[in-house]
Structure 1
Amino acid sequence: MSDFWVFGYGSLMWNPGFEHQGGQPALLRGAHRSLCVYSWVHRGTQERPGLVFGLDRGGACRGMAWRVSGSLREQTVNYLRAREQVTMVYLETWRKIRLQSGDTAEALTYVVDRAHPQYAGALPLDRQLEIVGDAAGQSGKNPEYVLNTASHLRDLGIKDHNVSWLAERLR
């Protein structure tokens, strides 16, 4: 079985949680990073939802691609489904990415399902800040999630105005 790639644009950039053979920055076209998913489990509850990132339609997204040994395909996909698909808010897809090396590859990617009740859409930044501010779930506090993502985007030299704006106000 051949090696494969997993594309991360939120916590998968800084906490992949699966065994990999290394990673490199990558670009995915046709979707953009957006704080557009109400989190009912990891960073909030149904009673007090948080917000997590999703890949939403249009634009492009820079993130991290992780190379995984083909021998670990089933184990890795099962892990990712358990982590990312708790409420089935994402569509598991294979998308073409351009690696920093210049090569292209197909990567396992989780894209937001706009028909799902957890899809928040494009909320104004002030509203995002209000929701994230004191939400918490099984994986921790929502502000920590946004700040960790902002920190890793900065470390990778990726500019994301909305994430930076939120991070400045959450600090």
Structure 2
Amino acid sequence: MEQFWIFGYGSLMWRPGFDFLRSEPARVHGYHRSLCVYSYVHRGTPEEPGLVLGLDRGGSCHGMAFEVSPANWEETIAYLRAREQVTSVYLEKRKSITLIASGRKVEAVAYVVDRAHRQYAGVLDDASLEHHVRSGKGVSGDCTDYVMNTLSHLRDMKINDPALERLARRLEVQAASRSS
């Protein structure tokens, strides 16, 4: 029987929004999690873009794999395309991922950033990251909430993401200095 898997590395890990048979920690090689996508809809606007995560080239990324029932596959993919492809900044790819507990490799759909897309932010310096995260507000809420919620779930999963940790410290320090 064919298996159907989705790989989540950002909000899909903690808010998949689709029915699944099981989920388990997984890793994809050749890509890393990065705040490299200007958000024009969910966490920002074209006038004041926020930032959201993308899978960008290089390294590896720990995330969550979701096995989807074959009976729900078409509905799940339609939902994910509507959610993830609002502005077509991601490429829907089938990637080999490793299920951490068993070491087994499976094929999964993953949304990889399109580096040729106008919303690809690339590697931003700390000040630019902080600016876009602080100012980004879109139909799904504040960009700061998105970053901190993702980081909280990564911590719960025992996934260390040094770049998000560094950004969170900057956000927390700035918030503390504004309230004093």
Q: What amino acid does structure 2 have at the position aligned with 1:122?
A: V
8 Å contact kept, 1:40–1:46: yes
8 Å contact kept, 1:2–1:69: no
Runs ≥4 residues deviating over 2 A? 168-171
Deviations, residues 40-67 of structure 1 (Å, cap 9, x unaligned): 0000000110000000011100011111
Residue equivalent to 1:76: 76
Q: Secondary structure, in 3 states, of the residue corresponding to 2:123?
A: coil
8 Å contact kept, 1:84–1:90: yes
8 Å contact kept, 1:25–1:65: yes
CA distance in 2, matches of 1:167, 1:7: 24
CA distance in 1, matches of 2:60, 2:35: 15
CA distance in 1, matches of 2:69, 2:158: 27
Residue equivalent to 1:28: 28
CA distance in 2, matches of 1:98, 1:126: 34
CA distance in 2, matches of 1:139, 1:11: 11
CA distance in 1, matches of 2:152, 2:171: 12
Deviations, residues 103-140 of structure 1 (Å, cap 9, x unaligned): 11000000000000000000012210111012110001
Structure label with greater radius of gyration:
2
8 Å contact kept, 1:5–1:67: yes
Answering whether residue 130 of structure 2 is matched by residue 129 of structure 1, we say yes
> What is the 5 A alignment of 1:1-171?
2-100=2-100, 101-171=102-172
**What is the CA distance between 1:169 and its match in structure 2?**
2.7
Structure 2: 5+ residue stretches without partners: 173-180
RMSD, aligned α-carbons: 1.0
8 Å contact kept, 1:147–1:170: no
CA distance in 2, matches of 1:42, 1:81: 14
CA distance in 2, matches of 1:56, 1:32: 5
**Most deviating of 97-106 and 38-47:** 97-106
What TM-score do you get using the length of structure 2 for normalisation? 0.92
What TM-score do you get using the length of structure 1 for normalisation? 0.97
Q: Give me the identity figure in percent.
A: 58
Q: What amino acid does structure 2 have at the position aligned with 1:108?
A: V
Q: What amino acid does structure 2 have at the position aligned with 1:30?
A: G
